[in-house]
Amino acid sequence: MGGARSQKQQREQLVCSLRSSGSSWVEVAEALRQDYRLNARAAFRYAHSWSQRRAADEWNKRWPDELKTFKNFSYWESWPGSTGHAPSFDNLSKLAELYECAVSDLLADLPNFRHLDTAGSTKPTVDKERLALSDGRTLDRGAGASAQDDWSKLLVQGAAPLVQQLQEVSFTELTQVIVVWMQRLNPFVSRRELICRLSAAFAAAATGSLFEVLDPDEQNHVTHAIQNSSDFDEPTLRYCEGMVNNLRRQDNVLGPQLTLHSTMGHRQVAQQLAKAASAPFQQRAISVYAELTQLLGWLCFNTGDYQSAQRYYDDARSAAHEAQNVELVTYILCAMSQLATWQGKPRVGIDHAVAAATWAAQTHSPLARAYAAEVAVKAYAADNQPDKFREKLDEEYAALQAVHPDEPHSPWWYFYDESCYWRTVGECGLKLQQPEAAMSALDKSLALVDPVHVHNNAFRQLFRAEARIQQAEIAEATSLIGNVAQHTAVGRSRRIVERINSLRGSLGPWERTNPVCELDERLAAYRTGGG
């Protein structure tokens, strides 16, 4: 602890010295980056002598309608590592304003390949004279390919210059270029079909870098080890450990069906490693096998295969116990509680939640204690025990307040933060027929949730739709349901489909109204994406 404090003091002294001498925030951050091997986002925060929690507080003062927690900053600073998430362009712009720098300064640690361009640097632009713009200018439809080529050149030049240039680009024009390009391929394509295709393409692109977990020197070695040997291999174990997080992220973007087979294959590799591992690596190997097995259970849960989900959860719990990984045992028991409650077995869910809380108490993880309380809330709510779920809500909130932003957390808690607490408060409000209180809590949750988590966002929006139905605000409710159906058309989970169908069933009293008829048309259009 003394060494950590000393390093913090050294950083603060460096910042104070540089600022006193007139150095800009950019210069201070660069010095911190070089001296302490920080990435650019973390360096600018340290330059201001802020903790992640303080940075989130400063953000929320400026943009109270777009609340962030310390976990958002942790994700952004961990990126492009496997546990991080890329900030959106809008969030990068706000970070730059917060830290008083340029957007490109926040990406200074990313690769730069300008040296490969032997012809020199040329800034590609969209030919505005050939675009169908809102000011009445016309677009030469034959120019679509040329405009597409210009954008293709821009997109391969690297992330930092891309972000810098996108600040000067009209996204209306970019959208029109994409639309023209698609319509040149098929001039009869509908706007709705076009949006679905683009959504699928962008979702696939978002996962394009998920599997870059090894350096090039290790890739051939791991491939050989997977294909040709059942002996233990430490680089392959490290590969599997990295892949667990990447597969979770793939599920977040593309859904369970497109993630299931890859997870099964990696689980088989992890099983071989666990059997062959020597004593120094055995617990690590068994733990990664347990994680992949739990993930497989989660994917089965979301595809509606509850029997397989239960079987995989049981196997995962046994493996986690064998690995003596108490925190992982807690996580798996929480998943088992959630599965039982969803299936209409809340008392079984309570049993698992109580067991999860018992094991969580033996860990040093406030996230484990908080999540065990959360699944208990849902089980008690489903069992119509309001006093109990209020008690567990208080426990969850108290545990969340004990989370320290600068302490490392186990990677499986990547999805869980304060936004989950507010979502659960909203669910309880719906259970108590208090739609106004539920809507307020759900709005807080959505302001805090990471937008990368398509699944989590979808359920929050469907809870908001239920609140609107309780308020008899049918136009707003049907709009929310239709939007979720559209946004989850690629890789939609069976649970989302069931939830949408349940809400549609509750609209019986308004069956013949225009909003419900329009919703039925939207659901029919997106139904093929539901799996």
Q: What angle do CA 334, 444, 254 make, to 5 degrees?
A: 55
Whether residue 429 has pLDDT greater than 50: yes
Q: What is the per-residue pLDDT for 14?
A: 87
Q: Which two tokens stand for residue 15?
A: 């910042």
| Radius of gyration for the chain, computed over Cα atoms and rounded to the nearest angstrom | 25
Examine the domain organization and report whether 103 and 122 are in the same domain. Answer: no
Residues 121, 209 within the same domain: no
Is 165 contained in some domain? Answer: yes
pTM: 0.62
- The CA distance from 44 to 65, in Å, is 23
Considering the domain boundaries, does residue 158 fall inside one? Answer: yes
Q: Cβ distance 242 to 212 under 8 Å?
A: no
Lowest mean pLDDT across 26-35, 61-70, 78-87, 233-242: 78-87
User: Which domain does 151 fall in, by range?
Assistant: 114-189
- Give me the number of domains the chain comprises: 3
pLDDT tens by residue, 360-389: 999 999 999 999 999 999 999 999 999 999
The alpha helices in 323-434, defined as continuous H runs, are 326-342, 346-360, 366-382, 386-401, 418-431
Query: Can you give the pLDDT at residue 187?
Result: 47
208 lies in the same domain as 318: yes
Mean pLDDT of 72-100: 86
Beta-carbon count within 10 A of 458 CB = 21
Q: How many residues does the chain have?
A: 531
Is the same domain home to 316 and 215? yes
Q: How far is CA 222 from CA 236, 237, 269, 271, in A?
A: 5, 9, 11, 15
Task: Check: CB of residue 295 under 8 Å from CB of residue 263.
Answer: yes
User: 255 with 293, same domain?
Assistant: yes
State residue 86's pLDDT score. Answer: 83
CA 70 to chain centre: 15
Same domain, 145 and 221: no
Q: How many CA atoms lie within 13 A of 44 on its CB side?
A: 25
Express each pLDDT in 114-127 by its tens digit.
667 666 544 444 44
Domain boundary among 73, 107, 141: 107
Question: Does any domain span residue 428?
Answer: no
- Decide which of 107, 125, 155 is a domain's last residue: 107
* Mean pLDDT across 265-290: 92
Query: Is 490 inside a domain boundary?
Result: no
Any domain includes 368: no
